[in-house]
Chain A
Amino acid sequence: VTDWREIVGAEHVRPGSPGDAVDGVVPRWVVRPGGIAEVQTCVRATAADGLALVPSGLGTYLDRGAPPSRLDVLLRLDRLARVLDHQAADMTVTVEAGCRLDALAAILAAAGQWLPLDPPAPATTTVGGLIAADLSGPLRAAHGRVRDALLGVRVVAADGALVHGGGRVVKNVAGYDLPKLHVGAFGTVGVIVEATFKVGPRPVCEEAVVVAARTSAAAVEFARAVLDSDVVPHWLEVAGSGGLAEGPGDGAAVAVGLAGIAEEVAHGRARTLALAAARGVGAVPVADGTGLRLRLAAFPLEPAAAMLRAAALPTEVGDVMLAFAREAGAAGSPVRCLAHAANGVVRAAIARATAIAPVVAALRPWLEARGGALVVERATPEVKGEVDVWGDPGPGLQLMRRVKEAFDPGRVLAPGRFVGGL
């Protein structure tokens, strides 16, 4: 049986405590390897002992996903925190998985650059967590998601082998696009230890315009009008009742993010205000667009009994928000919604735990029938015990099972955390 102290040193091993629980499952050990070779040794030892591990950075998103079916080792990667290679002129950066997003952002900002992904809590989010949980924020409207920025990965496979996929250049079709396999996979097919991203110039100006609307349907209509105009929004959030602190109280609101050089931003601001005036609705320019965006980005971590995440077509966002309000209301719970309007993603913060199962039961079949999804993004272990976190991932499930079987036949890596019990 493995003595973890021999691998990582006594100061980097401790027994698991309730604070380390992954969705209510407490690990036997918390192990913090100090380098890739130690990660490999840890994974090999876990497999050899017939144990299971969950990879983790700083633990901020361990309450996402389904509870692990087994958990012995919480493998914390926060000691692998270096920015290895920032090539500003190539617009690429290579980082270790445990690097915090705020630390990475500071280094990129010094060169006038950014990684345009804005999940909540960058100070407690690592690069590995960003990839494994496929985190995103308002900027996805213009810049896409992790899958669009990730150029390469190094991953420790279930047998301890160090595998690299992709590369460090912005364009590359040599071999399969293995980095994509690990995006949003919750560590079930490998432990991400290093990643290379495409980065870009950080816009010099970022502003916003907040537009009031009487109903969420009216807000969505306005958001669509913005998309159909010659404004190119950098981000476009629609808030239902109470979804936006800056919003008009009981009504809904649209926040239009504008970024670029001053001229572009001024044009976008004027056009958005004109669109609002033509509809006779109130609109307020916000000079600190970045500040507003970061507050909106933090929505998924706001206190609630559960955070649900619906995926639909952009034109369906209004219907989804109405359905959340209707079903949560019927189940006796307040609900606040915030949507990435250009992407068809609606998050709903459900206040009362008792409303979660009925809301999921009512909305999930409707969304899935339309090719969408409803995921329980965050909830207590008790709630997750009653409700399937993921729902039906669609006709690809059989292939997904075979992917898991191919990459982790011994079910060493985060077993049970992913779709279909993978």
Chain B
Amino acid sequence: MAAPSLVAGLRAIVGSDGVLDRPEALLVYECDGYTLERAAPEVVVLPRTPAEVSTVLRLLAAEGIPFVPRGAGTGLSGGTLPVGAPVMVCTSRMQAIEAVDVANRRIVVQAGVVNAWVTNAVRAHRLCYAPDPSSQPACTIGGNIAENSGGPHTLKYGVTTNHVLGVEMALPSGDLVALGGAVEDRPGYDLVGLAVGAEGTFGIVTRATLRLMRTPAAYRTLLAVFESVDAASEAVSGIIADGIVPAALELMDRLIITAVEAAFRIGLPTDAGAVLLIELDGPGPGLDAQAAGVEAVCRRAGVREIRVARDDAERAALWRCRKRAFGAVGRLAPNYCTQDGVVPRTRVPDILRRIAAAAARHRVRIGNVFHAGDGNIHPILLFDGRDADEVERVLAAGRDILAACVELGGSLTGEHGIGVEKIGQMPLLFAPDDLRAMISLRAVFDPEGRANPHKIFPDAKVCVETRAPRRQAAV
């Protein structure tokens, strides 16, 4: 229970409809898309403006109270789990698109603006915001910045950090500071680059200046069906080796194909080993030649069948099954957990073998749907949350897979973040001196350690209730 004086103070800042402290109202906030651990905050505060965020943080600073920032709660690593932080500050009511500069391809948005709204706001000008996580109809720009989110089209266009020019951040002291801005090349340390991906441990991003890009004039979207994931992986390597950089290069294995077909009935061959979703884009001329090149590579890799989207509707249908693949998995088991790891893209066949071995060893069903062009894997571990033993086996299999990623020269996470989920694995990737450097950077922004404490870095982790999840991960 939050102290009544604190609740009253918060209400005075944001109004009574912006403060939640009844237990039933807090239930929603006890986890994000990572459902294996839960902890409800004592109070949730929903400011409507950057100034209100600043005032809220000033109040918390005066009391020395730690806080956890939250956007839409679609994160997959437990980054918004309140651990040792009684107050949750949600940016979801800060939804203003403040300025659009079409000529310079910039947009200024508040942190609670949903990712997909950005492109919707500028589509008529043939502009778009490139990072497109699968959760883009729900996730917020503030959350994207905290996690440095990716998406299928990052292979060609980069992740969030490549598209954020400036952020306004409320520091834990309550000070609002504008870092970077619409102009490139301002001198000084790249504080914007450091703030992106800091998982809310520097403060709360309140506004951002984003770079927009020209919407590609033309697309070629292909679905290639292979007998095995090895053959599909060979095609991925072949495409890259031919000097083609597709806008997206996504792989789904048999388990996922089966789930997607059951859900969407688009005629995917459920006996195939793997399908690749390949998208090329650009101004138009030369795209056919590139598509022919991709088809030739796929044929060399022994492709069974290639389908080419004939129009926008077919393209949209292909993407729908990719972006909703996670949801389709819901048909296969009561619960699932999406892992996120990275390997050098040539090691994709190796990591898939290691995933299969982990599945067998821990008796867990695992499907794979992932960004093959980036080597960014997303094994989906199926389980029944009512089976405590199976939950333990899922967690163990996840740990084995991440350890394998690191062994193969990769990383613990490509786009979901460390959060609470992967704290224990950080020492696999970083030596004590590396971690010390990061922790000293955090202290620059948050000397008292009150912004999203007990995240990213292994410390004496406060005990969190681990139990069977009640709802599916929202992807």
Contact = CB atoms under 8 A, between A and B. Distances in A.
Question: A and B, one complex?
Answer: yes
Interface in B181-239: 181-191, 193-194, 196-198, 214, 217, 237
Given A161-B433, A169-B344, A170-B375, A147 B190 contact: yes
Given A171-B375, A177-B196, A406-B440, A311 B185 contact: yes
B245 A163 contact: no
Contact of A172 (B147, B414, B440): B414
Contacts of A261: 286, 289-290
A167 B103 contact: no
B187 A419 contact: yes
Given A371-B181, A373-B183, A315 B411 contact: no
Contacts of B198: 176
A164 B431 contact: yes
Contacts of A170: 342, 345, 374-375
B283 A231 contact: yes
Interface string A388-422: 00110111111110110011000000000011000
Interface stretch (B47-55, B154-162, B313-321, B462-470): B154-162
Interface stretch (A75-83, A263-271, A293-301, A324-332): A263-271
Nearest to B373: A170
A184 B159 CA distance: 21
B205 to A, nearest CB: 14
Interface residues of A, number: 82
Contacts of B243: 112-113, 201-202, 204
A181 B344 CA distance: 24
A396 B188 contact: yes
Interface in A9-38: none
B241 interface: yes
B341 to A, nearest CB: 10
Interface in B111-150: 147-148, 150
Contact of A396 (B184, B191, B283, B435): B191
A312 interface: yes
A180 B181 contact: no
Contact of A175 (B150, B187, B191, B430): B430
Contacts of B412: 174
Interface stretch (A85-93, A97-105, A348-356): A85-93
B162 A175 contact: no
Given A230-B283, A396-B188, A177 B346 contact: no
A284 to B, nearest CB: 22
Contact of B178 (A148, A161, A264, A395): A395
A377 B448 CA distance: 38
A162 B434 CA distance: 8
B443 interface: yes
Contacts of B456: 175-176
A112 B244 CA distance: 11
Contacts of B182: 313, 371
B92 interface: no
A201 B244 contact: yes
A416 B213 CA distance: 38
B294 to A, nearest CB: 13
Interface residues of B, number: 84
Contacts of B435: 175
Contacts of A397: 188
A185 interface: yes
B416 A372 contact: no
Of A171, A178, A312, most B-chain CB atoms within 10 Å = A171
Interface in A298-339: 309, 311-315
Interface string A131-167: 0000000000000110110000000010001111101
A399 B414 contact: no
A148 B162 contact: yes
B104 A162 contact: no
A151 B237 CA distance: 20
Given A230-B284, A311-B184, A315-B103, A396 B290 contact: no
Contacts of A164: 430-431, 434
B426 A232 contact: no
A313 B283 contact: no
A112 B180 CA distance: 35
B433 A394 contact: no
Contact of B284 (A161, A185, A267): A267
A89 B186 contact: no
A170 B347 CA distance: 13
A399 B190 contact: no
Contacts of A309: 185
Contact of B190 (A172, A183, A264, A266): A183
A260 B286 contact: yes
Contacts of B1: none
B444 to A, nearest CB: 4
Nearest to A154: B434
B197 A372 contact: no
Given A169-B375, A264-B282, A91 B430 contact: no
A378 interface: no
B415 interface: yes
A375 B409 CA distance: 40
Contacts of A59: none
A251 B169 CA distance: 45
Contact of A174 (B186, B283, B345, B411): B411
23 contacts: A90-B346, A145-B184, A147-B161, A157-B433, A161-B436, A164-B434, A168-B344, A169-B410, A171-B414, A174-B413, A175-B456, A180-B194, A204-B243, A231-B283, A311-B186, A313-B183, A345-B184, A371-B181, A372-B183, A394-B178, A396-B188, A400-B189, A419-B187
Given A312-B183, A396-B188, A400-B189, 4 more contacts: A90-B345, A145-B184, A161-B437, A399-B444
